[in-house]
Amino acid sequence: MGILNLHNYKNTKVPEEYWDCIADYLSCCENEINDISEESYSNIRWNEKKVCFQALLYSLGIPNGIHKQIEKEIRCPECGRKIELESVVSINYGYQSKRTRQKLEAKINKDVHGKIKNFIKFLKKYPMLGLLDDTGKEIENAIRSTKLQIIDNEIWYRARKPDKNNPLKIFTQKEMGKPPVDITPEGRFNHYGQPSLYLGNSDYVCAKEINDGNFQVICWIQKVYVKKAKILDLTDYSTINKLGEYPLLVAGLLISGELEEHNEKHKGFYKPEYAITRFIADLCRVNNIDGIKYGSAVRNETDKDSINLVLFNDNCYYYEGEPTLYSGNEKILARCGIEDDEIIFYCPTQK
């Protein structure tokens, strides 16, 4: 079900506010209505009602004088066909809240999108000099004034692939922590040689993370108990109120998608998309924020609540119990067995 996209109406003779009003309700034209039976209409379009298009315009208080122009320009949000004034359309009562969200995002984007784009360009060129840029300074202030979240008494997870040279090796708790300084690669929220503890909110999320988005892997999982951690939460903006609580520049960064960018083409050391996230990580660390909660870059439609947590402060977590073996696929699990007191398993995605 479509929502009228105002960006299609750039060269319009109809005032934008009228498009806004129409977009709050218009769902589809006669074409889609006639495609389904009267009976299924109420099921498929349960929150909708059929009305004459011009009656809709009257009820929205749109002056008569502009109706003909609207008729000329309007296209059905679903099929793109023209809509005549006297034709029947379907209107949806749930669009208003979605549209309020759209409007809020459009407003935020209008204010800061250009700034953010330019800043990211600058940062990719001069990753160490973010604070020389005015937007960089504004982002610092915005991060400082973002309301922090406290994570306390929560179990998070950490995964590790089996030892490449010795797949039978049973990992201990000691081996499930951060990598040593000299082999710490650059991460979304850390620089080379600066280990940070990356966690997931489930073993499944962790398995996906270490295996390029595919959970069908065998790995070791360590439970990590997080206590009294002051966190910058970059995930909690689903509702209008929540999005509105973030400072403007942080809200702009969140809806821009830049913080979760995952570019398949960038292999090896070249990760320009990390410049902005590492800038934010540095701002957090220098301001004594213990960590950052962020959406997993490998999540999809079915597991939208896949969340990661990176912790900079070693005092706000401890390991809970010994690591256990996780399998994302029962068939792979069937290939595991106990032999001579050792776990035998086969890891198909070993690199």
Listed ranges 25-33, 36-44, 212-220, 315-323: which one lies at the site for Zn ion (CB under 5 A): 25-33
Listed ranges 72-80, 187-195, 207-215, 275-283: which one lies at the site for Zn ion (CB under 5 A): 72-80
Of 31 and 202, CB closest to Zn ion: 31
One-letter amino acid of 205 = V
Taking the complex as a whole, how short is the minimal distance between the CB of residue 35 and Zn ion, in angstroms?
9
Strand (E) positions, the chain? 26-28, 48-52, 88-92, 149-151, 154-160, 197-200, 218-226, 229-233, 291-295, 307-311, 317-327, 337-339, 342-344
With CB under 5 A as the rule, give the number of residues binding Zn ion.
Answer: 7
Taking the complex as a whole, how short is the minimal distance between the CB of residue 24 and Zn ion, in angstroms?
18
Taking the complex as a whole, how short is the minimal distance between the CB of residue 22 and Zn ion, in angstroms?
14
Listed ranges 26-34, 88-96, 223-231, 259-267: which one lies at the site for Zn ion (CB under 5 A): 26-34
One-letter amino acid of 11 = N
Listed ranges 33-41, 69-77, 295-303, 319-327: which one lies at the site for Zn ion (CB under 5 A): 69-77
User: Judged by CB under 5 A, does residue 79 bind Zn ion?
Assistant: yes
Of 78 and 163, CB closest to Zn ion: 78
DSSP result, 182-197: GG---BTTB-TT---E
Instruction: Give me the half-sphere count of Cα atoms (radius 13 Å) on the Cβ side of residue 251.
Output: 24
Choose which of 73, 78, 84, 138 interacts with Zn ion (CB under 5 A): 78
Please report the sign of the dihedral spanned by the C-alpha atoms of residue 279, residue 285, residue 288, residue 293: positive
Choose which of 22, 29, 56, 199 interacts with Zn ion (CB under 5 A): 29
CB within 8 Å of 75: residues ≥ 6 apart = 8, 81, 82, 83
Of 80 and 193, CB closest to Zn ion: 80
User: Judged by CB under 5 A, does residue 83 bind Zn ion?
Assistant: no
Of 33 and 347, CB closest to Zn ion: 33
Residue with tokens 């896949």: 306
User: Judged by CB under 5 A, does residue 91 bind Zn ion?
Assistant: no
SS3 of 302-343: the string is HHCCCEEEEECCHHHEEEEEEEEEEECCHHHHHCCEEECCEE
User: Judged by CB under 5 A, does residue 87 bind Zn ion?
Assistant: no
Residues 200 and 158: beta-carbon distance below 8 Å: yes
Distance CA 160, CA 178 (A): 11
> Residue 88 gets which letter from DSSP?
E
Choose which of 4, 26, 56, 76 interacts with Zn ion (CB under 5 A): 76
Distance CA 140, CA 123 (A): 14
Taking the complex as a whole, how short is the minimal distance between the CB of residue 68 and Zn ion, in angstroms?
20
Choose which of 31, 216, 313, 349 interacts with Zn ion (CB under 5 A): 31
Of 73 and 78, CB closest to Zn ion: 78
**Among the listed residues 310, 311, 174, 158, the one whose alpha carbon sits nearest the alpha carbon of residue 220:** 158
Of 75 and 113, CB closest to Zn ion: 75
User: Rule CB under 5 A: which residues touch Zn ion?
Assistant: 28-29, 31-32, 76, 78-79
